[in-house]
A and B are shown apart, each in its own frame.
Chain A
Amino acid sequence: MALSWQIAKSTATKPPSASMEEAKHRVLDFFREACRALPVLMDTYNLDEVITQSELRSQIAAAFRKHSAVTNPKVVDMLVFKGKEELQDCLDHSKQRHHLISTYVVGTEGQISLKKLGTVDHGESHFLKNFYQSNLF
C-alpha cells in the first residue's frame, strides 16, 4: 500500500517535458516504477500460477514499445500519465485477476480476433455458396 501512495504522489501535475530527452527520462523512470511494483502485483493477484516475473516484465516492455514511434513530448507525457493511472488501478486492487491475465499474460494476439474467424466450408456446391450470399448471381 505504501508503494501506491508513492506513485499517487508522483502523478501530481508537473510542467510538460521541454524535449524528447526529458520525456524519455520520464518514461524510463516510470518503467522502473512499474518493474518495482511487479512483486506486489504477482502476490496480490496470484499471478505466479500463470506467468513468471521476468515474462511479465517483458510484456510490460512490449506495451511500452508499442508507442516507440511517438515524436511529440506532450503525447509522451500523456501516455506516461495514463500508464501511471493504470498502474495505480492495479495496485489499488481496482482491477481483477482476469483483467490482468487478458491484457498482460495472454495479450491481444492470444485472444481470438473476429477477423481471423473465417467461414466454414461445408462442402456445398458453387451454386449454393453464391445463393447464400444473394439471390442475384
Chain B
Amino acid sequence: MQAALRSSAIAVRNTLLQHVRVTVAAISLKTPVVLDDRLCYSSGHATYLDKSSVTDRILELVKKMEKVDPSKVAPEAAFQKDLLLDSLDTVELVMAIEEEFAIEIPDAEADKISSCSEAIEYVASHPAAK
C-alpha cells in the first residue's frame, strides 16, 4: 500500500510540474566585504546582465524623458546630436541609468557616455548591475 501511495504521489507530482512553473533560485554564498566602512555583501562570482535586456531597459528610460522624441530613440542614437539633449539632460539621463541598474558610475566614466550604445556597453560590462 505504501508503494501504491508513493507511486500515485509521484504521478501527481509529475502532472503538477507539467502545468506549474517552479523557479529554482541558485543560492550564492555571500561573504561580507568592508567597503567605505559599510558592510557590503557581494556574491563570489560576477554576474553580468544580458545585453538585449539592458538595451530594452535603457531605451525605455530614454523614451520616458519628456524632451526626447520617441521615434528617434535607437540603440545608436547620440544624446547631443540625434536626440538634441543638452549637457544637463545627458547627466540627468546617466543618473537615471544609475538609479535603474542600482550602480554608481564614477564621474570620469560618466563624462564619456554620450550615446545610447556607450551606455549599453558600460552597463553590460558592469559586474554589479541589477
List A residues at the B interface (Cβ < 8 Å): 2, 24, 27-29, 31-32, 35-36, 53-54, 57-58, 61, 64-65, 68
In this complex, the member of A27, A28, A36, A57 whose beta carbon has the largest number of chain B beta carbons within 10 angstroms is: A28
Rounded to whole angstroms, the CA-CA distance of A27 and B104 in the bound complex is: 19
Considering only CB atoms, which chain B residue lies closest to A29 in the complex?
Answer: B107
**Contact between chains at A61 and B96 (CB < 8 Å):** no
Question: Contacts A32-B95, A32-B107, A32-B110 hold; do A58 and B66 have CB atoms under 8 A apart?
Answer: yes
**Contact between chains at B95 and A35 (CB < 8 Å):** yes
Question: Contacts A29-B107, A32-B107 hold; do A53 and B99 have CB atoms under 8 A apart?
Answer: yes
Contact of A24 among B64, B87, B104 (CB under 8 A): B87
Number of B residues, CB within 8 Å of A: 15
Contacts of B82 in A (CB 8 A): none
List B residues at the A interface (Cβ < 8 Å): 36, 64, 66, 87-89, 91-92, 95-96, 98-99, 104, 107, 110
Contact of B87 among A2, A28, A36 (CB under 8 A): A28
**Contact between chains at B96 and A57 (CB < 8 Å):** yes
